[in-house]
Structure 1
Amino acid sequence: MLLSFRVQNFRSVRDIQELTLLATPPDAGLPAPLLFGPALHVSPLAGVFGANAAGKSTVLRALDTLRALTAAGSDARDAVRRFEPFRLDPAARLLPTRFEAEVLAGGVRYVWGCAYKQGEISGEWLHAYARERRTIWYERDRGGVRTLPWARLDGLAAVVAGDPDVTLLALGADAEHPRLAPVAAAFAAIVPVRVAPGPRLVRDLEHLAAGWTDELTLLLARAGLGIAGVDTDGDGVRLVHEARTGPHPLGAYGESDGTIAWLDLLAALLPALDRGGVLLVDDLDAMLHPSLTAEALRLVGDPRLNPAQAQLVFTARAVPPTTAESQRWYAVKDDGATRLRREPGGPGLSPGELAHELWLAKRRPTV
């Protein structure tokens, strides 16, 4: 589970910003047992709201970049090469981007973080917390890597010393290291989901045929989309609509963008409810009716339907009334930089005021 996330000097974020999913009050979240000590209570939802260009999507992109930095394969190297510092301050371009996240894996709290510039990891650290005591598994800077002896990381540390554009945690995931791989798996469970218009909307539904479930059929049929059922005969999947002449199946090309967006979300959400993980959804309400947005949030927030304690981090234009205040974050711009706050920013020009300003500008004499 994701407990908290911090980011600095990334895209529209200049100063350190933190998003936490620890529930306040504690009884408002899902219980997450620890190996030692009382259980934590973690929120299954975190919504980021704000005006256009306030930096909402930047928060989700930062989380996805964090996932890539810890991933096996070439993802970590690709993320380091895509160095994206805050560009409105010349000094920030010379500083590294910094990410830090706290996750729960196997009943233990871990804090992993890294700092990087173009093609180079300048710092990395992994700490574990048990019985409220911190154990430093490793810390890395340009001078080398210092590791905990019993963690048996010397071999990986020697490899990373000559490989400055990959994280030690990503190497541990590649090597399936018995101590690092479970931590890397917690970050690998962060999954971005697209529900906005784009290439996925014109794809057929064959990619869902093998994993189609009765639950998916039920949620589609009860969503008020005119869908009566699903035809899975043959090679693909077609949604069945009721018509005067009887049931009529349609392929993806005949469905509305909103229907496909709801299907895309459910196709990722339902497996997460069974397996766990963290879903990242940008513009959750861009293509979905408010009732469907609320239904998705209820699915994640209901512990009976979410036994694996999946989490959903999303951005939206409007604040869903089903979210608690502790689950709401607001992105605001200050001197061109994004800040995360618990309360919304001050009101800007209303549409009527904006139109009035335009009317006044047109009446001003030109010289």
Structure 2
Amino acid sequence: MIYRVEIENFYSVRERQVLDLTVADNVRADEEHLMPLYEGSDQRAPKIIAIYGANASGKTTLLRAIEFIAGFVCNSATPTEISQDIHPFNDDECLTKPTRLAIEVGGIINPEYLSEGAPYEMGTLRYELVVQAEHGMVSHVISETLSQRPARKIKWSKVFDRQGNEVVKNAAQFRLNGFRHLLNTLKPDASLISTFAFFTHPTAHFYAKALGSWVYTNLNVVPAFMSGDHTLMQRLKADPVLLKALNRDLSRIDLGIQQFAVEDVPNLGPQGRFTHAGHTRDLPWEMESQGTQAFVRLFPVLAEALSMGGVALVDEFDTLLHPLVLPEILRWFYDDQDRNRGGSQLWMSCHSATLLEYLTKDEVVIAEKTSQGRTHFYTLADMSSQEDKAPVRRSANLYKKYLSGALGGVPIVG
């Protein structure tokens, strides 16, 4: 799980922003909303992180930062690399400065546990990346550092420290024996982890998975009007288990739908069709309601994160979905007895104030943009450190406070 994100000179973020979601064990909070950073940890973090703010305030920037790190760690060295956009803050000074990103995650930190019979060790990992961007892409890596902190320890120890194309430090967990030659061909715009994992380095695979392969997102989905949802239909057609799970939840949120199926049509490929109660003919995908289509598009991201114990990054979570469907999806992530036994997280940007009726102050992040176009983040649990803002009580009505403007993150109209 992700409990800390740091961003500097990335899209609308200019100055370094630190988002720390940890909740100490002595804080009284709704337990179903929180989970330990790792098994046995005294600190907890929320299962759901809801990012609120006015239009263009930088909500998506936070999601993009996490997505970028995950993709860079996993895919930047692969021949089939998908281009990842990266842009510094848009002023003359920042365009020539590096972008700095970091995340901290909790979980298993000892890659040796992958060997049969080896014990596993819990703790936290910290990944720091400093890159120079040009023309919307990484031109070169300035530094890349991975550190770990075992359970009950205070200090971090470095797994590796890369400066440019040189590894200046590596621990036993990231041995270079038999792989040192890769440093001679290390691409300046690729991750050390991604490079070594591609060439089957045993522990690089572990760290790639721990830091990024569990992230699922709708951020880079091709718009429906461009793709006709062809990729979505191919995916559902190829995965009967996912399609069955989708039908189960569709029947719960739309009483009129009896079944959704995907069939191959000559010259068209896989096409979606809905069977409705009382209809003698199936309804084709393009004639279904926009709300149902939105739910189907979002479902694979949520289902895969929940089944894999991963992180779902959802931009515009509440777009087109009925207000009563939204809290139902939140309940999936709160349900650690059935739907979310793997400790998955949901990070979402949204506008729906009614969702605040279901959230606690630990779960709400506010994105605000200054008159100079600079994005700042803060949590409601951290309101006391914000200028001109009072602390938020756990018993406070977040819905009323947000609409009144007391929490920030609302548009100024007129």
Q: Which residue of 2 aligns with 1:241?
A: 276
Which of 34, 47, 50 is equivalent to 1:29? Answer: 34
User: Paired residues, what number?
Assistant: 344
Give the distance between the partners of 1:5 and 1:74, measured in 2 at CA. Answer: 28
Q: Which residue of 1 aligns with 2:391?
A: none
Cα drift, residue 46 of structure 1: 0.6
Question: Deviations along 1:163-221, whole A, 9 cap, x unmatched?
Answer: 32212111132123222221111212112126886546543735313424443212101
Q: Which residue of 2 aligns with 1:97?
A: 99
Q: Which residue of 1 aligns with 2:408?
A: 345
Q: Which residue of 1 aligns with 2:189?
A: 165
TM-score by length of 2: 0.75
Give the distance between the partners of 2:203 and 2:11, measured in 1 at CA. Answer: 32
Letter of the 2:326 partner, please give it.
T
1:69 aligned onto 2:102 = no
Cα drift, residue 299 of structure 1: 0.8
Structure-2 change in CA distance of 1:64 and 1:103 (3 Å): same
Give the distance between the partners of 1:76 and 1:137, measured in 2 at CA. Answer: 25
Segments of structure 2 that go 5 or more residues without pairing to the other structure are: 109-121, 134-138, 265-269, 381-406
Q: Which residue of 2 aligns with 1:134?
A: 156
Q: Which residue of 2 aligns with 1:226?
A: 256
Letter of the 1:328 partner, please give it.
V
Which of 320, 326, 336 is equivalent to 1:303? Answer: 336
Q: Which residue of 1 aligns with 2:2?
A: 2
Q: Which residue of 1 aligns with 2:309?
A: 276
Cα drift, residue 237 of structure 1: 4.8
Q: Which residue of 1 aligns with 2:216?
A: 191
Cα drift, residue 51 of structure 1: 0.4
SS of match in other structure, 1:122: strand
Question: Deviations along 1:202-257, whole A, 9 cap, x unmatched?
Answer: 437353134244432121012136212334677765221123xx453222122122
Structure-2 change in CA distance of 1:231 and 1:114 (3 Å): closer
Cα drift, residue 162 of structure 1: 5.0
- How do 1:101-180 and structure 2 match up within 5 A? 101-106=103-108, 107-118=122-133, 119-130=139-150, 131-132=152-153, 133-142=155-164, 144-150=166-172, 151-153=174-176, 156=179, 159-160=182-183, 162-163=185-186, 164-180=188-204
Segments of structure 1 that go 5 or more residues without pairing to the other structure are: 355-367
Letter of the 2:129 partner, please give it.
C
Structure-2 change in CA distance of 1:19 and 1:76 (3 Å): farther
Q: Is the 8 A contact 2:236 2:262 kept in 1?
A: no
Structure-2 change in CA distance of 1:232 and 1:64 (3 Å): closer
- How do 1:262-273 and structure 2 match up within 5 A? 262-273=295-306
Q: CA RMSD, aligned part only?
A: 2.8
Answer with 67-76 or 100-109: which moved more: 67-76
Give the distance between the partners of 2:69 and 2:145, measured in 1 at CA. Answer: 13
Q: Is the 8 A contact 2:74 2:194 kept in 1?
A: yes
Q: Is the 8 A contact 2:131 2:142 kept in 1?
A: yes
Answer with 149-158 or 182-191: which moved more: 149-158
Letter of the 1:310 partner, please give it.
S
Give the distance between the partners of 1:284 and 1:346, measured in 2 at CA. Answer: 17
Q: Which residue of 2 aligns with 1:362?
A: none
Give the distance between the partners of 1:68 and 1:75, measured in 2 at CA. Answer: 12
Letter of the 1:309 partner, please give it.
G
Q: Is the 8 A contact 1:197 1:257 kept in 2?
A: no
Cα drift, residue 148 of structure 1: 2.8
Structure-2 change in CA distance of 1:184 and 1:198 (3 Å): farther
Letter of the 2:342 partner, please give it.
A
Cα drift, residue 124 of structure 1: 1.0
Give the distance between the partners of 2:83 and 2:178, measured in 1 at CA. Answer: 23
Answer with 328-337 or 341-350: which moved more: 341-350
